[in-house]
């Protein structure tokens, strides 16, 4: 069937097309950053994040986050949020 009315064709097609959208989790992994962080594990470091800076002992390093301990409080910081680090 041929339609001269473009709007009718477009609307008719949209109502009969099923679009499925899938959610994808994207995790950026930077092995150089993880390796650098692992080299200072156990030391006191200063970490600058998008929310400010924090100083503490680097307790653990995972592919997506670090664990920083300061004053008996543990902070879990996503590596994607880290701007820079400075070991003491």
CATH code, 35: 2.30.30.100
Angstrom CA distances, 35 to 25, 32, 52, stand at 23, 5, 23
Range of the domain at 58: 25-87
Total tally of structural domains belonging to the chain: 1
The number of C-alpha atoms within 13 Å of 36 and in the hemisphere containing its C-beta is 12
pLDDT confidence of residue 27: 60
pLDDT confidence of residue 35: 95
Q: Is residue 6 part of a domain?
A: no
pLDDT confidence of residue 3: 43
pTM over 0.85: no
The Cα–Cα gap between 68 and 14 comes to 52
- Average pLDDT for consecutive 10-residue bins of the chain (88 residues)? 48 56 73 95 97 97 97 96 95
Q: Is residue 78 part of a domain?
A: yes
Angstrom CA distances, 63 to 16, 20, 26, stand at 44, 31, 13
Q: Is residue 15 part of a domain?
A: no
pLDDT confidence of residue 75: 97
């Amino acid at each position: 069937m041929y339609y001269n009315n473009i709007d009718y064709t477009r609307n008719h097609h949209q109502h009969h097309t099923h679009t499925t959208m899938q959610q994808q989790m994207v995790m950026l992994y930077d092995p150089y950053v993880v390796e650098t962080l692992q080299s200072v594990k156990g030391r006191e470091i200063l970490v600058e994040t998008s929310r400010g800076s924090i100083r503490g002992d680097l307790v653990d390093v995972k592919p997506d986050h670090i664990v920083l301990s300061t004053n008996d409080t543990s902070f879990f910081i996503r590596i994607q949020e880290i701007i820079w680090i400075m070991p003491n």
